[in-house]
Amino acid sequence: MIIVMKPQAKPESIQKVKNLIEEKGLVAHISAGTEVTIIGVVGDKTLLQDQNLEIFDEVDKIVSVTESYKLANRKFHPEPTTVRVRDVTIGGGTLVIMSGPCAIESREQLLATAQAIKKAGAHILRGGAYKPRTSPYAFQGLEEEGLKYMQEARDLTGLPVICEVTSLNAIEAAVKYVDILQIGARNMQNFYLLKEAGKTGLPVLLKRGLSATIDEWLNASEYIISEGNPNVILCERGIRTFETATRNTLDISAIPVIKEKSHLPIFIDPSHATGVRAYVKSLSLAAVAAGADGLMIETHPNPSCALSDGPQSLTFDQFEELTGEIKPMARLLGRKI
């Protein structure tokens, strides 16, 4: 349920409605716009059915929310959410580029990558210290040792850092070193992990599951936000279809759909979507044109020797060429970068 207050409603009128909601054991979320304030109600709305909220001072109307996700819903929060990570703002018309290796392999590899992507215009360093791989025999990551390298790379370059977490132990380690937690596609519906990530208060980037609908994805984000953490970033990384020409099928249409349904910023990961470096540039440009808030692109000093996802990783020169094309296009579209 959403309670829409009249334009320029007085603070005392808003507080009166909020108090009633909370007295009934429900949760009130206030979204104050420039003119109109919206009060979102989470919980059993039948507890309010005898209250005649419509007759309260300065209540304009009551709107029912039929979707199961509430806090991630644009109806609850009409203004787009912006997420601040150190000196980087995600959302709000800014295009943010995350880049780095799929897996952290060594200190030298990560520091070289961090310096190269910073020079090319990236805003955030990504790197995998915990790698949930399809095969149990594939490289699984350096874990906390890799996190320490990420912290060193941040100190060296000033770039905020993001790393995927796969367990409570990984979260407990990662919060000591990184600025953003990532929940990977395979864990999108690991609801315990989502809640624990939400409790940290750190921004969380949530990737769409391999076979997840958009509504399932938004409901997964709800688990994080419901822990009191509004700093959620969605990331479309391709979904499983019958097509075999690419690793996955990038759902570009997810960008306008998310923009309509939710206030959360959305990134596109063209590297995991295609699995082919030759396609990364085209899909990155398409994502920017479609309104994505950011890109997550894999780079590696020597992709042919990468321990994880080498075929989709860009070289430093290829990444610099890509950002050189993205920047003027973003500016043409009125985006800050």
How far out from the chain centre does Cα 20 lie? 33
Structure tokens at 171: 């979260």
- Asked if residue 112 belongs to a domain, the reply is yes
Tell me the whole-structure pTM to 2 decimals.
Answer: 0.92
Q: Which residues are CB-contacts of 334 (< 8 A; sequence separation ≥ 6)?
A: 93
CA-closest candidate to residue 75, choices 225, 263, 216: 263
Whether residues 43 and 91 share a domain: the answer is no
Cα angle, residue 295 at apex, residues 290 and 296 outer, rounded to 5°:
145
**CATH number for the domain that contains residue 297:** 3.20.20.70
> HSE (CB half, 13 Å, CA atoms) of 40?
18
Residue 122 has pLDDT above 70, yes or no: yes
pLDDT score of 34: 76
Q: Which residues are CB-contacts of 20 (< 8 A; sequence separation ≥ 6)?
A: 48, 51, 53, 56
Contact call for residues 46 and 59 (beta carbons, < 8 A) = no
- Asked if residue 77 belongs to a domain, the reply is no
Number of structural domains found in the chain: 2
pLDDT digit string, tens, across residues 236-290:
999 999 999 999 999 999 999 999 999 999 999 999 999 999 999 999 999 999 9
Q: How many CB atoms lie within 10 A of CB 90?
A: 27
pLDDT digit string, tens, across residues 168-190:
999 999 999 999 999 999 999 99
pLDDT digit string, tens, across residues 283-292:
999 999 999 9
Whether residues 242 and 167 share a domain: the answer is yes
- Asked if residue 73 belongs to a domain, the reply is no
Whether residues 189 and 49 share a domain: the answer is no
CA 180/CA 96 separation, integer angstroms:
14
CA-closest candidate to residue 259, choices 94, 84, 80: 80
Domain that holds residue 239: 83-332
